[in-house]
């Protein structure tokens, strides 16, 4: 068994060296051998490095379904890094269809992901990573939201108690009274309808103090209600 473990470690090292040398085809060969050997002979060794490297190689080559396959296997092994990589891959894959003129800002990207119904799956894997206490996952989620603290706080409020990193960041955000109010309205009073200002359909609306509802983006830029001016 020790020989088999050493063999797998050697293949991982050879694969990693091949990536550094830019020889992705050779790296792919070594990592595939490693995975096949570990699973085929039921060797009890953590091969998440090989799985993630395979996923990243296919990601770089835009072979998204192959990348997804290996990231998901690593995720079954509770690997937080693969959760982040998979969410990043989905972002890259879905952005292909977004016109270049609209790729300049993360706000446009976020609205686009929501429009095509893919935002939820991207958020899902970043949140899984944060629940596994991945600092990288937290940073990537912040970037996805264009560092909008209100949206970030709302999402982090849904974390499990085991996420020390996420809960610590949420506690920082909740020191701001306006964020606490926004988050409570979103979690307790929101509803799905069309926004009366931007006309975004089937989006989450939250109420102003006068109880007229607007989408979160419009809510955050309004100084007073657009309907009753209160």
Q: What is the CATH number of the domain that holds 59?
A: 1.25.40.10
Q: Is there a single domain that holds both residue 84 and residue 172?
A: yes
213 phi/psi in degrees, rounded to 5: -105, 145
Q: Is there a single domain that holds both residue 161 and residue 145?
A: yes
Number of domains in the chain: 3
Domain extent at residue 218: 190-230
Q: What is the pLDDT of residue 190?
A: 93
Q: Is there a single domain that holds both residue 68 and residue 84?
A: no
Q: Is there a single domain that holds both residue 88 and residue 135?
A: yes
Q: Is there a single domain that holds both residue 84 and residue 185?
A: yes
Q: Is there a single domain that holds both residue 53 and residue 104?
A: no
Q: 79-105, pLDDT tens digit by residue?
A: 999 999 999 999 999 988 777 766 666
Q: What is the pLDDT of residue 83?
A: 97
Residue that finishes a domain, picked among 51, 77, 103: 77
Q: Is there a single domain that holds both residue 126 and residue 212?
A: no
Q: Is there a single domain that holds both residue 22 and residue 67?
A: yes
pLDDT at position 1 over 60:
no
Q: Is there a single domain that holds both residue 98 and residue 152?
A: yes
pLDDT at position 3 over 70:
no
Q: Is there a single domain that holds both residue 116 and residue 209?
A: no
Residue that finishes a domain, picked among 37, 55, 77: 77
Q: 160-219, pLDDT tens digit by residue?
A: 888 999 999 999 999 999 999 999 999 999 999 999 999 888 889 999 988 899 998 899
Query: What is the pLDDT of the chain when averaged over all its residues?
Result: 89
pLDDT at position 2 over 50:
no
Radius of gyration of the chain (CA): 22
Q: 100-124, pLDDT tens digit by residue?
A: 766 666 667 888 898 888 999 999 9
Q: Is there a single domain that holds both residue 18 and residue 48?
A: yes
Q: Is there a single domain that holds both residue 180 and residue 195?
A: no
Return the ∠ at Cα 191 (arms to 187 and 196), rounded to 5°. Answer: 125
Residue that finishes a domain, picked among 77, 94, 128: 77
Within 10 A of 1 (CB to CB), how many other CB atoms are there?
A: 9
Please tell me the pTM assigned to this model.
Answer: 0.85
Alpha helix segments (H runs only) across the chain? 2-20, 24-40, 48-60, 64-76, 80-95, 106-115, 119-131, 135-144, 149-156, 164-173, 177-189, 216-221
Q: 27-72, pLDDT tens digit by residue?
A: 999 999 989 888 776 655 678 999 999 999 999 999 999 999 999 9
CA distances 3 to 6, 8, 9, 46, 165, Å, are 5, 9, 10, 15, 39
């Amino acid at each position: 068994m020790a020989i088999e473990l050493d063999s797998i470690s050697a293949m991982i090292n050879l694969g990693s060296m091949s990536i550094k040398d830019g020889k992705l085809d050779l790296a792919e060969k070594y990592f595939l051998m490693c995975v096949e050997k570990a699973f085929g002979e039921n060797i009890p060794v953590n091969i998440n490095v090989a799985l993630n490297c395979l996923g990243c190689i296919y990601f770089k080559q835009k072979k998204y379904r192959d990348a997804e396959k290996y990231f998901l296997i690593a995720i079954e092994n509770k690997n937080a890094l693969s959760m982040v990589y998979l969410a990043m891959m989905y972002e890259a894959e879905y952005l292909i269809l977004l016109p270049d003129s609209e790729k300049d800002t993360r706000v446009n990207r976020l609205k686009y992901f929501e429009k095509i119904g893919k935002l939820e799956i991207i958020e899902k894997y970043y949140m899984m990573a944060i629940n596994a206490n991945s600092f990288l996952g937290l940073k990537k989620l912040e970037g996805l939201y264009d560092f909008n603290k209100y949206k970030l706080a709302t999402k982090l409020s849904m974390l499990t108690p085991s996420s020390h990193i996420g809960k610590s960041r949420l506690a920082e955000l909740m020191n701001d009274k306006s964020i606490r109010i926004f988050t409570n309205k979103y979690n307790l009073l929101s509803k799905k309808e069309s926004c009366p200002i931007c006309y975004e359909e089937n989006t989450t609306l939250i109420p102003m103090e006068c109880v007229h509802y607007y989408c979160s983006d419009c809510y955050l830029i309004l100084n007073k209600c657009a309907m009753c001016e209160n």
